[in-house]
Amino acid sequence: EVREAEAAFRQSGRINEILVDEGSIVKKGDLLATLETDTFSQALSNLDAEIAVANAELTKLNSGTRAEEIALAQANVRQTEAIYRNAEEDYRRQASLLSSGSVSEKLVHGARTTRDVAKANFDAASSTLTLKRNGARREDIAVGQRRVQAVQATRSRLETALEDTRLFAPIDGVISSRNKEIGALVTPANTIFSISIRSSIYVRAYVSEPMLGRAAVGTLVQLKTDSRDKIYQGRVAFVSPRAEFTPKTVETEDLRSDQVYRIRIIVTDADSALLQGMPVTVSIAPTTATVR
């Protein structure tokens, strides 16, 4: 009886490469197979570009406005102020002429509109200059920081998903079955390999009730296969508390003695010649039991 571990991808995808086959001896951490990664690689490139943009914007917010930008804003304020002053003077002149009938109301209305537009432009330019002098608000910087953190978190999750396209051996052992081929679409629910744990080889045997006293946990036993003369050493590691194959009605002592109990024996000097399902003869002095 050889215990097995199952190996499966933690990520869905199409198998790109299989590096081992049935019978391969593997160590924990060995690379067994990979999935296609084109989609993940492209997504990582896109995220790297997005992170670069987000970091640049955050750096700009933290650095404040450059002197050149402030100078341009000041020039715009002076220009819009001059336009506004001229429009204000023109409007006043037109309004004074209206009382004497020298100009029409339509002309005065047009001058007023021109002045109002110029005033709005001047106010907007002044506000822009104030903002540039004050630099970015703390709220804007916080928003920029959160954006950088969010994109970096997305990239971290994608890196984990990319790492999960590589399947590693979870334990030392031998590949006992290979269940998928290159090109197959798989999910985490699909077992790709079964790995026999060679360090834990057990023999399952059955003993009758009268033999239980000689098959207690810890009892040393000897084992022999039909295929070779070597004697293996073993130790009883488990005795089932329940009888098996028990008749429905147990009335006599003779019938009770026909009951059997399952025991598990760990082979202490196992080698590669012991295979799963192989018949073994177990010797517990002074009697023997044959396991099939």
Greater model confidence, 101 or 282? 282
pLDDT over 80 at 199, yes or no: no
pLDDT over 50 at 85, yes or no: yes
| pLDDT, tens digit (0-9, with 9 covering 90-100), for 2-34 | 788 999 999 999 999 999 999 888 999 999 999
pLDDT value of position 291? 47
Question: What is the pTM assigned to this prediction?
Answer: 0.53
pLDDT over 80 at 257, yes or no: no
- Residues in CB range of 20: below 8 A, 6 or more apart: 26, 30, 32, 33, 175, 178, 193
Most confident of 31-35, 273-277, 287-291: 31-35
Which band of pLDDT confidence, cut at 50, 70 and 90, is reported for residue 202?
Answer: confident
Structure tokens at 263: 């025991």
pLDDT value of position 251? 41
pLDDT value of position 20? 94
pLDDT value of position 252? 40
pLDDT over 90 at 272, yes or no: no
Degrees (nearest 5) of the Cα angle 141, 146, 150?
A: 150
Compute the distance between CA of residue 88 and CA of residue 121 in angstroms, rounded to an integer: 13
Among residues 42, 34, 29, the alpha carbon closest in space to that of 18 is found at 34
The mean per-residue pLDDT over the stretch 242-257 comes to: 52
Structure tokens at 16: 């790109």
Which band of pLDDT confidence, cut at 50, 70 and 90, is reported for residue 261?
Answer: confident
Burial of residue 26 (number of CB atoms within 10 Å: 0-12, 13-18, 19+) = buried
Written as one string, the DSSP assignment of the chain is -EEEEEE--SS-EEEEEE---TT-EE-TT-EEEEE--HHHHHHHHHHHHHHHHHHHHHHHHHH---HHHHHHHHHHHHHHHHHHHHHHHHHHHHHHHHTTTSS-HHHHHHHHHHHHHHHHHHHHHHHHHHHHHH-S-HHHHHHHHHHHHHHHHHHHHHHHHHHTTEEE-SSSEEEEEE---TT-EE-TTS--EEEEEEEEEEEEEEEEGGGGGGS-TT-EEEEEESS--PEEEEEEEEEEEEEES--S---SHHHHHT-EEEEEEEETT--TT--TT--EEEEETTEEEEE-
Instruction: State what percent of residues in the chain have pLDDT above 70.
Output: 87
| pLDDT, tens digit (0-9, with 9 covering 90-100), for 217-231 | 888 998 888 888 888
| pLDDT, tens digit (0-9, with 9 covering 90-100), for 100-129 | 777 788 888 888 899 999 999 999 998 888
pLDDT value of position 40? 84
